[in-house]
Amino acid sequence: MAETLRGVYAAVLTPFTEKLEPDLERFVRHCRWLLANGCDGLAPLGTTGEANSLSVAQRLALVEAARAGGVPLAQCIFGAGSCALADAVTVTKAVVAAGGGGALLLPPFYYKNPSEDGLFAFFSEVIERTGDARLKLYLYHFPQLSTVPITVPLVTRLKRAYGDTIAGLKDSSGDWQVSATFLREFPGFGVFSGSEEFLLANLRAGGVGCISASTNITAPLARPVYAAWNRAEADGLQRGLTDVRLVFQSYPLQAALKEVMALMTGDPSWRVLLPPNRALAAAQRAELAARLRNLPQMQPILRQAA
C-alpha cells in the first residue's frame, strides 16, 4: 500500500496576469517557495486556487507547468472537481498521468440534494473512467459552498467498493466534530482539516494534517505545530497559529491572502482575482496589514514587507 500523504499542505493560490490568465511562471515559483518554507505538500486547483473559475485547458496547463518546473508532484493533491463528469475525469487522468500524489474531488454541486446513489455513481464513474490503479482520490467536504455534503454512509460505500483508492478527505466544513466523526468511523483514513485552526486536534485524533488556504502564508508557523504535535509545547504553537488564521478568515479569504502575497513579494499583480471575486478595498488592505503586523509570530514572515 502506498504511503499515506500527510503534513502541512497549502491550498495553493493561482496568480493571474492582467489578462486574467494563469501566470504559470509565478505559480511554479510560489509552489517552490511553499515547499521551502514549511509545506510538506501542495494542493493546487482547489477553492483557494479559483479552480472552478478555470477552464479544463487552464487547469491542465497548471498541472503541466508544475511538472515541467520540477515541483514534486508526488507531494501534490490536485483539485479535479467539476459538475461535468467528463471534465472531472479529464483532469483526474491528467493528474495521475503526471505522477500526482492524489486528486481532490468535489461532489457535483450544481444539482441540489442529490441522492446517495447519485453521488456514489458520480465518484464511481470518475474512478472507473480514469482506470488507473495509481489513483488516490480525496473527497472534498465543503458544504458551505458545494451545498452537497460528503457523508459517512457515502464514504462507507466508496471504501467498500474501491478500498484504498479512496485515500482520504479534506474537511472544510469548519466544524471540528465532522473531522472527528470521520476519524472515528474510518481509522487510518487520510483526513486533512481544511483549516490550520484544527491542525493539532486533527493530528491528536489520528488525522494526517491540514490542507489550508492560509498556509500560503502561515506554513512557517504551521510546520512547528505538526512537528511537535505529541508534545505539550504544541498547544502554545497552535494558539499562535490559530490567532493568525482568525485574522485572515475575517476577510474574503482569497483576497486577503493575495493582498499579503502582494505585500511580501512587492508584486501588486498578486492582487488579481477572477470575477466575481474582487481584491480588498484600500481600507481593508491597510487594516489587514496592521492587524497582522501586530501579531509577534507574523513578524519574521512579514519582515520583507516592512
Is 138 noted as a catalytic residue in this protein?
yes
User: 36: burial class by Cβ within 10 Å (0-12, 13-18, 19+)?
Assistant: exposed
Give, for 105, the enclosing helix (H) or strand (E). strand 102-105
Work out the number of other CB atoms within 10 angstroms of the CB of residue 257: 24
Cell numbers describing residue 157: 460505500
- Cβ-count burial of 53 within 10 angstroms (0-12 exposed, 13-18 middle, 19+ buried)? middle
Quote the DSSP letter at residue 280: P
DSSP state of 116: H
Q: Which among 138, 215, 218, 226 is annotated as catalytic?
A: 138
Per the annotation, the verdict on 110 as an active-site residue is yes
State the cell numbers at 77: 493533491
Cα–Cα distance list, 218 to 35, 61, 141, 301 (Å): 12, 27, 22, 8
Among the options 93, 136, 170, 258, which is catalytic? 170
Q: How many angstroms from the chain centroid is the CA of residue 259?
A: 18
Q: Looking at the DSSP assignment, which residues form a beta bridge with residue 104?
A: 79, 138
Active centre residues (catalytic): 47, 110, 138, 170
